[in-house]
Chain A
Amino acid sequence: MEIVYVYTRRRSEFGRPCSFSDRPAKVNVDIPPDPTAASGFILRNPVDSCVQHVSDMSVHEVNTERVEVESHGINHVEGGWPKDINAQEVEQTIRFRKKVAKDENYINTIVHLGALMEHCVKQNNAIDIYEEYFEEEELLEMEDEPPSAKTINVIRDPNITKRTATQLSWHPNTCRKLAVAYSSLEFQRNVKDMSFDSYIWDLENPMKPELVLKPFSPLVSLAYNPKDSHVLLGGCYNGQMVYWDTRRGGLPMEVSTMEFSHRDPVYGAIWLQSKTGTECFSASTDGQVLWWDIRKLSEPTETLVLDITRKGLLENALGAVTLEFEPTMPTKFMVGTEQGIVIACNRKAKSPPEKITSTYSGHHGPVYGLARNPFYPKIFLTVGDWTARVWSEDIKESSIMWTKYHLSYLTDGCWSTVRPSVFFTTRSDGTLDVWDFLFKQKDPSLSLKVCDEPLSSLCLQEDGCIVGCGSQLGTVTLLEISSGLCTLQRNEKNLVNAMFERETKREKILEVRHREMRLKERARLEGQGMEAEERPAESPQDVLERTRREFFEVIQAELQKRGQAGTQHP
């Protein structure tokens, strides 16, 4: 479309045509140079001046589309036979072979090649050149190389509408496969054409998922059965439990019935240790923890209502956001709730109120990550709001160690499987932090910006070297951590043990002290209550004086205690 504007004017209205004429040059201004201005400058000798005669080039970056690679096999059929011989006819081939065998050239060549080959075979038989020669020298001192991590692979959600990668689970034995659950956790933000599929990826082929799991509702949590690596358990957004057998394809084998399932997305689904290997349990924000047997998903085998007042009322129940189970302690498990409380439960208690053994509160927001230390099961890590906290099971009042408050909130965390003092946390600004409590306690040892969008989940491979992080846009990044962070150092177990014990003791002392103070307060209040009428009203000044005195006393006591604990630091 052309935009044209036409100006018209009559020629007679233009005015007289200009007539140009030449005239000699005329000097208008003449400014002579002023030598006094030179005093403001210094003569520079020599002067560096760069001259280059090169053609001008410009830089342009191009990112090609990812190349789709497919593996094909070739079926070798015998070929190369001369034209007159039919390869199928055994007689003809035998005849040909015999003819070749009599050929003189053939004989010479074979003899020559045979000698050569014999030489190499004898070499092989004599010395094994690939054997381990210097075995003792493997104990290289780990130099203080700075910890680092490398991205080895990035797996993107192939759908157009990206969903959050809510949970990752590594294949139990091979660790070459990763199952990722995708769903959109935004409340009521389900776009109509958002697909429900979750994928199992093979690390060799990050372009195309190895298996597509098609549930009836998006999966929020996903777990491989540690005993049977073909079976996967999934918890859906609508509260149902599903399980798959990868040998049978992507459709679920069985789905739990709607009436008995959860009413809210199933945030935690974990397999249990059992002889049959078919038991699992799940937790959701509707406040229930349900136990299932895979063979009969029509109703749960057991239920527990997360009511900390121990009355079993669903209205008082706290919503569960994470679930934790340690195979070495099969009857106990822990649940992290939306309200910031971690509940430790015992499955084998005799009555439902007894099931909840203890609660630990300390987070201001939902507890997104909950993990026990694989080496010290009494110590567990909780990740929620803006901090990560380390707790000891014995101390119920507060955590024994905690990180500083970050700027963005933490979304998930887990311990390293090889080093007891290392754990990982993910943040909502897309950063992965690796903490090493033995090395540095105030800051993470390694802080990596993985992507721009928030990271939503984290899963460490069993050998402790590769960690997968899932982000809000469905991108799963696989990182390999430097060996310094995933090999057990000498003496580490002892040091970590000592550190945990020290912190536990400190907390215990504080707890005892608090209790004492509270008892004293209570006694004093009771005493005061009896003399309430006779006591003269204290003027505000006196109250202030008294409180200030008490405050300083408490501080002094604390400092002394801290001093004692400090002298025990190694």
Chain B
Amino acid sequence: GIPVRTTLDNSTTIQYAGLLHQLTMKARRTVRYLDPQNDLTFLRIRSKKHEIMVAPDKEYLLIVIQNPSE
């Protein structure tokens, strides 16, 4: 996917954009497969260092990386 606006540096943004786009597609396909009426609204990936939140839409994708509050 093409990053339109970003607050991180270019290479990281491109990495995140590419990988998360694919992951979101896969997640959406999975949700749809399990129940055709369902659709993916939000995707949260929590890792040791931070939490990645992805809000998908038909054409665009909003990705936020947050440090967990602990």
Contacts and interface: CB of A to CB of B under 8 A. Distances in A.
Contact of A76 (B15, B46, B53, B64): B15
Interface residues of B, number: 25
Nearest to A76: B18
A249 interface: no
A76 B14 contact: yes
Contact of B55 (A76, A78, A79, A113): A113
Interface stretch (A120-128, A212-220, A293-301): A120-128
A105 B59 contact: yes
Nearest to B56: A113
Contact of B19 (A76, A105, A117): A76
Given A80-B1, A109-B60, A116-B42, A121 B68 contact: no
A128 B55 contact: no
A77 B60 CA distance: 19
Interface in A66-106: 76-81, 97, 100-101, 105-106
Contacts of A97: 4-5
Interface in B16-31: 18-19
A110 B18 CA distance: 19
Contacts, number: 58
A134 interface: no
A445 to B, nearest CB: 36
Interface residues of A, number: 25
B60 A113 contact: yes
B68 A128 contact: yes
A206 interface: no
A81 B55 CA distance: 21
B57 A112 contact: yes
A110 B2 CA distance: 15
A124 B4 contact: no
Contact of B53 (A79, A109, A121): A121
A77 B14 CA distance: 7
A105 B57 CA distance: 11
B42 A106 contact: no
A531 interface: no
B69 interface: yes
A101 B3 CA distance: 11
A116 B41 contact: yes
Given A97-B5, A124-B68, A128-B70, A113 B59 contact: no
A307 B28 CA distance: 75
A78 B17 CA distance: 9
B2 A121 contact: no
B11 to A, nearest CB: 9
B38 interface: no
B46 A130 contact: yes
A114 interface: yes
A78 B41 CA distance: 26
Given A113-B60, A116-B42, A78 B14 contact: yes
B55 A117 contact: yes
A128 B68 CA distance: 7
Contacts of B44: 120
A110 B66 CA distance: 18
B62 A124 contact: no
A533 interface: no
Contacts of A105: 59
Contact of A106 (B41, B60, B64, B69): B60
B16 to A, nearest CB: 9
A76 B59 CA distance: 20
B51 interface: yes
Interface string B34-70: 0000000110101000010101011110101010111
Contact of B66 (A79, A100, A113, A124): A124
A78 B51 CA distance: 24
A131 interface: yes
A99 B61 CA distance: 17
Nearest to A93: B2
B57 A113 contact: yes
A334 to B, nearest CB: 43
A117 B4 contact: no
A274 B30 CA distance: 58
A33 B64 CA distance: 93
Nearest to A129: B46
Contact of A110 (B46, B60, B68): B60
Contacts of B60: 106, 109-110, 113
A542 B62 CA distance: 106
9 contacts: A76-B15, A76-B18, A77-B14, A78-B2, A109-B59, A110-B62, A113-B57, A117-B53, A117-B55
Interface of B: 1-2, 4-5, 14-15, 18-19, 41-42, 44, 46, 51, 53, 55, 57-60, 62, 64, 66, 68-70
Given A76-B15, A113-B55, A116-B41, 6 more contacts: A81-B2, A106-B59, A110-B62, A116-B55, A117-B64, A128-B69
Across the A-B interface, give the 10 residue pairs with the lowest CB-CB distance, nearest first. A76-B18, A113-B62, A113-B55, A80-B2, A109-B57, A117-B55, A116-B55, A109-B60, A128-B69, A128-B70
